[in-house]
């Protein structure tokens, strides 16, 4: 179904070159990011009260092409069970005739090339246990130059966010497997009948064209191709990702100006950067789910802030005790409901 090597090769040709730096400057950026990651880990541990329960590999400072390769490898692991299901049903030939492994490889490569210029860092959980922290040096340098912010402050601020993700998945022993199980459940719930899949794919293409014509549409590609059975799983995954993204946003700002002196200015400029002004880019961001991620940052951060304000960080951390303690979709906009369900008491503002 997908020519993964072609996906990587296509992305490699389409990835935009990064900011101009000398070899010495590039080496200094890599060295500082590794150092700041260690500093960030200490601040995240002290602020959140969470400590890694496993040894994690050191941070990988990568360029855009390396980021693509890592994510294609992760996506391949996710997609392999679905492809195996289709092969067992004997429908893979029909699908291959309709969309073609080469065509799909080019499409995947094109998407990853676009995203490779947007991501500052990522905790990649698919490729191996316990996961791996990636920092995209080109994008971090490009962003700090465009925003005209203090480089060290900005780099530490980014590291705080990404290290929080690493801490979440290494301090909470069951979280990574729970996330992977939900993703696999999503894949297992796919309709592997060739004709049904092709029909949804054709509908998705029509909807994409309509989305380009209708800028107010909020549909994403994942919305267009999922089956009804997958929607419930998507709701749970969305709630989980809203929590982990919002928690990271809360931590990166919450460590305070003593750690990142220009944090207020960085946050203001960075939020403005997140608003896509180009109409074509807005369509792409929406279809690729980037807009959904932006909403997750804001909604999740508000939820975490409200809970911590009312019960304190220690009681907030009950959220990591089990999958049942994770917030439900409705609770993300009603933190009091989560507090009452998990702690069995009405919410009250902490002193």
67-94 pLDDT per residue, tens: 999 999 988 888 777 667 666 666 555 5
- Integer-rounded Cα Rg, in Å, for the chain is 21
Higher-pLDDT residue of 304 and 273 is: 304
pTM: predicted TM-score of the whole model, two decimal places = 0.86
Higher-pLDDT residue of 124 and 235 is: 124
For residue 188, give both structure tokens.
């297992």
Report pLDDT for 199.
61
Higher-pLDDT residue of 101 and 222 is: 101
Work out the angle between the directed axes of helices 137-147 and 23-48 (0-180°, nearest 10).
Answer: 90
Tell me which residue range forms the domain holding 314. 4-343
The answer to whether residue 349 is domain-embedded is: no
Report pLDDT for 189.
79
Residues 6 or more apart from 63 whose CB is under 8 A from it?
18, 136, 137, 138
Find where tokens 């860092």 sit: 121
Percent of the chain with pLDDT over 70: 77
Residue 99 burial (10 A CB sphere; 0-12, 13-18, 19+)? middle
Query: Does 212 score more than 90 pLDDT?
Result: no
Helix (H) and strand (E) counts for the chain?
A: 15, 3
The answer to whether residue 58 is domain-embedded is: yes
Report pLDDT for 278.
62
Question: H/E/C letters for each residue in 96-125?
Answer: HHHHCHHHHHHHHHHHHHHHHCCCCEEEEC
152-183 pLDDT per residue, tens: 999 999 999 999 999 999 999 999 999 999 98
Report pLDDT for 351.
44
44-58 pLDDT per residue, tens: 999 999 999 999 899
Report pLDDT for 206.
55
Report pLDDT for 136.
98
Q: What is the mean pLDDT of residues 299-311?
A: 96
Query: Does 276 score more than 90 pLDDT?
Result: no
The answer to whether residue 351 is domain-embedded is: no
Q: What is the mean pLDDT of residues 236-264?
A: 93
96-116 pLDDT per residue, tens: 555 567 888 888 898 899 889
Half-sphere exposure (CA, 13 Å, Cβ side) for 52? 16
Report pLDDT for 34.
98
Rounded CA separation 100/190 (Å) = 19
Cβ atoms 139, 119 nearer than 8 A: yes
The answer to whether residue 101 is domain-embedded is: yes
The answer to whether residue 348 is domain-embedded is: no
The dihedrals phi and psi of 115, each to the nearest 5 degrees, come to -65, -30
**How many structural domains compose the chain?**
1
The answer to whether residue 350 is domain-embedded is: no
The answer to whether residue 134 is domain-embedded is: yes
Please give the mean pLDDT across all residues of the chain. 85
């Amino acid at each position: 179904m997908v020519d993964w090597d072609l996906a990587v090769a296509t992305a490699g040709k389409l990835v935009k070159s990064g900011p101009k730096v000398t070899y010495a400057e590039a080496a200094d950026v890599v060295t500082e990011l590794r150092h700041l990651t260690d500093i960030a880990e200490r601040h995240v541990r002290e602020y959140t009260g969470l400590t890694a329960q496993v040894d994690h590999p050191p941070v990988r400072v990568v360029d855009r092409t390396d980021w693509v390769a890592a994510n294609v490898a992760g996506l391949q692991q996710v997609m392999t069970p679905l492809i195996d299901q289709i092969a067992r049903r004997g429908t893979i030939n029909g699908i291959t005739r309709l969309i073609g492994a080469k065509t799909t490889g080019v499409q995947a490569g094109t998407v990853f090339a676009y995203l490779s210029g947007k991501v500052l860092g990522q905790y990649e959980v698919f490729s191996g246990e316990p996961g791996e922290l990636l920092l995209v040096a080109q994008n971090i340098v490009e962003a700090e130059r465009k925003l005209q912010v203090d480089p060290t402050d900005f780099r530490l601020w980014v590291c705080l966010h990404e290290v929080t993700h690493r801490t979440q998945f290494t301090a909470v022993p069951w979280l990574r497997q729970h996330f992977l199980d939900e993703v696999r459940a999503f894949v297992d719930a796919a309709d592997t009948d060739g004709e049904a899949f092709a029909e949804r794919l054709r509908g998705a293409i029509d909807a994409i064209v309509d989305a380009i014509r209708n800028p107010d549409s909020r549909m994403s590609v994942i919305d267009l191709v999922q089956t009804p059975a997958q929607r419930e799983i998507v709701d749970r995954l969305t709630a989980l990702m809203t929590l982990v993204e919002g928690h990271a946003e809360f931590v990166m700002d919450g460590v305070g100006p003593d750690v990142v002196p220009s944090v207020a200015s960085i946050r203001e400029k960075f939020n403005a950067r997140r608003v896509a002004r180009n109409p074509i880019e807005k369509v792409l961001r929406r279809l690729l789910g980037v807009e959904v991620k932006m909403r997750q940052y804001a909604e999740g951060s508000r939820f975490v802030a409200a809970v911590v304000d009312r019960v304190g960080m220690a009681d907030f951390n009950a959220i990591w005790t089990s999958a049942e303690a994770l917030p439900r979709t409705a609770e993300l906009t009603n933190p009091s409901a989560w507090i009452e369900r998990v702690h069995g008491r009405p919410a009250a503002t902490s002193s």
